[in-house]
């Protein structure tokens, strides 16, 4: 008997998903719980398993098509059976790991963002396929690049955008002699007729182009607009003499034979400030301020698909080495989009290391659902006055943005002063 399987609401707030790739073609047999399709939501690329055993009689949409929750994802039945299913058939509930549905909250992911439980890799390895995110696959298709010929440089061998772009640059030409293009003055270029109005526009205007934003980028845009429109931002700037901080990082790296990310030390230095000023570790809910008892610190990660915020849960209970391991693990998982919902949601304060891409001071936007974010720039050698003497020292820029509805300027200065004190003498927070 043919049975419909409709796109389930796997995560709170899910309304639609894009079909990335069918893992089982029409006409082939599938077993219960076997992954049958890859879909992409705002936050993850995930595999959805079949709830039934049988033959895939019909796909509910083509690759690249967006379908809504409740729309038929596929029809499964017996071989040779018609693809029309009985409408009265009750749908099974989606298989979701316990505790996976958490309130989405990120620096770039809105409170309305969909949440799906991702697969272990974030990209499918079914049928011997390569590992690459949808945008990377699309770029390869558009430029006739065979992904199976590329060795991925990303985590777990994932093929990145940079890998594909390198393959494009290295691709041979079509053998024809290249000639310089003829330049036609704009005034002499033929006009194009727009279908909507029938009016002519100069062809020079057609040289640009449009491309749709990815789901993640659309979520980032909506989230930033929401935060900027609703939160009265204040940003305070300062600098830190990072001499001792960098010495301690080098000593710890040598002692434990591992790289200590600067984010690990910054998070450790921020925890005492959050304990002394709990309004920075809170959520404004209407006329009430919800002060959080735990410190779940978000770490902004620059990924090929956009900015994601991975969350170090209960950061206050972790030592520097544990924090370093978490920063590294979450960073790799965010870039491969293989993190689970609880690793991408629920931050209570955010640290953004724009120094990793050469940044200095900035004006970070407060993530929805939180009251503050600290941005850390790259330490650079600068002249400073130390004990009355002019010396050269590594100076690290700090930028603290906060919600002025909750935090006033004096509290903001006290908070960042304590953070600076801790960063300039790490013994103050390493002993806690």
The neighbour count for residue 239, using CB atoms within 10 Å, is 16
The neighbour count for residue 286, using CB atoms within 10 Å, is 6
CA pair distance 362, 81, nearest whole angstrom: 61
Contact 104, 12 (CB under 8 A): yes
Residue 403, burial from CB neighbour count under 10 angstroms (0-12, 13-18, 19+):
buried
The tokens of 279 are what?
């309004």
Task: Write down the H helix ranges in 277-396.
Answer: 320-336
C-alpha closest to that of 394 among 249, 258, 261, 268: 249
CA pair distance 285, 265, nearest whole angstrom: 31
Q: What are the backbone angles phi and psi of residue 164, rounded to the nearest 5°?
A: -65, -40
Contact 100, 343 (CB under 8 A): no
What's the sign of the alpha-carbon dihedral 13, 296, 119, 39?
positive
**296 is an active site residue:** no
Contact 370, 110 (CB under 8 A): no
| Active-site residue set | 404
């Amino acid at each position: 008997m043919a049975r419909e399987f409709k796109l389930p609401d796997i995560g709170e707030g899910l309304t639609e998903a894009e079909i990335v790739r069918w893992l089982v073609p029409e006409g082939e047999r599938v077993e219960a719980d076997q992954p049958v399709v890859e879909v992409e939501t705002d936050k993850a690329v995930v595999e959805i398993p079949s709830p039934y055993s049988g033959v895939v009689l019909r796909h509910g949409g083509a690759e690249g098509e967006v379908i809504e929750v409740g729309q038929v994802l596929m029809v499964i039945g017996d071989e040779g059976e018609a693809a029309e299913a009985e409408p009265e058939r009750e749908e099974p509930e989606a298989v979701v790991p316990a505790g996976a549905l958490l309130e989405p909250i990120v620096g770039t992911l809105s409170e309305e963002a969909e949440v799906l439980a991702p697969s272990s890799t974030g990209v499918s390895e079914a049928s011997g396929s390569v590992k690459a995110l949808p945008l990377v696959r699309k770029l390869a298709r558009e430029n006739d690049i065979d992904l199976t010929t590329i060795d991925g440089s990303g985590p777990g061998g994932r093929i990145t955008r940079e890998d594909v772009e390198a393959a494009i640059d290295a691709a041979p030409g079509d053998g024809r002699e290249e000639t310089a293009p003829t330049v036609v003055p704009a005034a002499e270029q033929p006009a194009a007729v727009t279908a909507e109005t029938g009016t002519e526009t100069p062809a020079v205007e057609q040289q640009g182009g449009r491309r749709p934003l990815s789901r993640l980028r659309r979520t980032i845009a909506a989230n930033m607009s929401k935060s900027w429109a609703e939160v009265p931002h204040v940003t305070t700037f300062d600098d830190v003499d990072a001499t001792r901080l960098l010495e301690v990082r080098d000593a710890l790296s040598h002692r434990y034979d591992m790289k200590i990310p600067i984010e690990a030390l910054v998070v450790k230095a921020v925890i005492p400030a959050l304990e002394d000023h709990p309004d920075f570790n809170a959520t404004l809910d209407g006329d009430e301020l919800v002060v959080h008892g735990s410190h779940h610190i978000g770490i902004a990660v620059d990924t090929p698909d956009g900015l994601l915020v991975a969350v170090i849960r209960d950061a206050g209970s972790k030592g520097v080495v544990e924090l370093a391991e978490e920063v590294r693990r979450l960073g790799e998982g965010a870039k491969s989009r293989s993190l689970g919902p609880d690793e991408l949601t629920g931050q209570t304060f955010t640290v953004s290391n724009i120094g990793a891409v050469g940044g200095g001071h900035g004006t970070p936007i407060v993530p929805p659902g939180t009251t503050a974010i600290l941005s850390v720039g790259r330490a650079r050698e600068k002249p400073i006055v130390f004990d009355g003497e002019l010396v050269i020292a590594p100076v690290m820029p700090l930028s603290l943005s906060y919600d002025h509805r909750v935090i006033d300027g004096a509290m903001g200065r006290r908070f960042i002063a304590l953070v600076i004190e801790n960063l300039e003498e790490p013994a103050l927070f390493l002993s806690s």
